[in-house]
Amino acid sequence: MPELPEVETVRCQLDAALPGREIVSVESVDPFILRDADAQDLPGLIEGRAFGSVTRAGKFLVLPLQGDVYLTIHLGMTGQLLIAPRGAEISHVRFSGLLHGGEDRLVFRDIRKFGRLHVTLGAPAARLSGLGPDAWIGDWDADFLRSRLNGRTAPLKAFLLDQRHLAGIGNIYADEILYGARLSPLRPAGTLTRPETERLAREIRERLGEGVRLRGCSISDFVDTEGAPGSFQDALRAYGRHGLPCASCGSPLVRTVVGGRGAAFCRYCQR
């Protein structure tokens, strides 16, 4: 699942490859994943415009084009952004644009169609304004976290998944963060003590940073723009490990459902 570290891995590669280059022609677009623009208008809107510097907000990628046009992409659950040779055979293509020079193309591939491509004239404020600060590099601290947690009865894991508080955490990193912070996913968010809040803040930055360093988690479909997997899946300590022993106490991790999502955790180490 593309979460913040996976999206950052892709952003980094796109920012090295795209600025200054233009989309010569839109080869295909699946109207299902397109938002804010019509498929027949798309070529006229983006063809011939060069990319600017690629940025990220939580799990959203923002690809600016000349003329105040923006491509804002969410990879959803199985989305991939590839820079692929023109001749490569690729399935489940939702958007394909030939890049200047004609040797390669920018491809948005998405098996399950949870991904979205927003095309807007002007910055994509409507899509991004509800997001909290970036969970990895955003300007926030334990006091901010405390103010957001305060008074909430929702389970801690649901809080971490809510992009309005912090942007970028998904199911995998939520499990890893809670394991590292020794906090139960079921813990009512508002009951954290100050030391627990500080532990949580530290784990959020560290686990996401580790994910970025390892170029993301390829436990399911994630690959970078060259089709290469990351390696965070080898560093998992909680996600998907229910039934396997806790690295700290040895008892089997358990699985439960929190906020409609599966959660694996150690019921002894995580309180």
Partner DNA sequence: CCCAAGTCCTGGTTGC
Partner DNA sequence: TGCAACCAGGACTTGG
**Active-site residue set:** 2-3, 59, 261
Tell me whether residue 58 or residue 211 sits nearer to DNA (CB atom).
58
R_g of the chain, CA atoms, integer Å = 20
Does the footprint of DNA cover residue 59 (CB under 7 A)? yes
CB within 8 Å of 132: residues ≥ 6 apart: 58, 138, 140, 148, 163, 164, 165, 166, 167
The distance of Cα 198 from the centroid of its chain, to the nearest Å, equals 24
Residues 31, 44, 130, 252: which binds DNA (CB under 7 A)?
130
Q: Quote the CA–CA distance of 119 and 232 in Å, as a whole number.
A: 31
Tell me whether residue 19 or residue 188 sits nearer to DNA (CB atom).
188
Ranges within 175-234 binding DNA (CB under 7 A): 189
Does the footprint of DNA cover residue 146 (CB under 7 A)? no
CA-nearest of 208, 206, 203, 210 to 182 is 203
Does the footprint of DNA cover residue 111 (CB under 7 A)? yes
Residues 154, 214, 236, 254: which binds DNA (CB under 7 A)?
154
Residues 97, 155, 180, 185: which binds DNA (CB under 7 A)?
155
Binding segment (CB under 7 A) for DNA, from list 42-50, 111-119, 197-205, 222-230: 111-119
Q: What minimum distance in Å lies between the beta carbon of 31 and DNA?
A: 11
Q: Terminal CA-to-CA distance of the chain, rounded, Å?
A: 26
Q: What minimum distance in Å lies between the beta carbon of 182 and DNA?
A: 21
The tokens of 62 are what?
A: 């923002």
Identify the three-state secondary structure at position 62. strand
Residues 259, 265, 266, 270: which binds DNA (CB under 7 A)?
259
Phi-psi group of 231: left, alpha or beta (phi > 0 → left; psi -120 to 50 → alpha; rest → beta): alpha
Ranges within 22-41 binding DNA (CB under 7 A): 32
Does the footprint of DNA cover residue 236 (CB under 7 A)? no
Task: Give the position of tokens 């912090």.
Answer: 166
112 CB neighbour count, 10 Å cutoff: 11
Q: What minimum distance in Å lies between the beta carbon of 127 and DNA?
A: 6
166 CB neighbour count, 10 Å cutoff: 26
Q: What minimum distance in Å lies between the beta carbon of 50 and DNA?
A: 28
Which parts of this chain interact with DNA (CB under 7 A)?
Answer: 1, 3, 32, 58-59, 74, 76-77, 92, 111-114, 127, 130, 151-155, 158, 161, 163, 170-172, 189, 257, 259-262
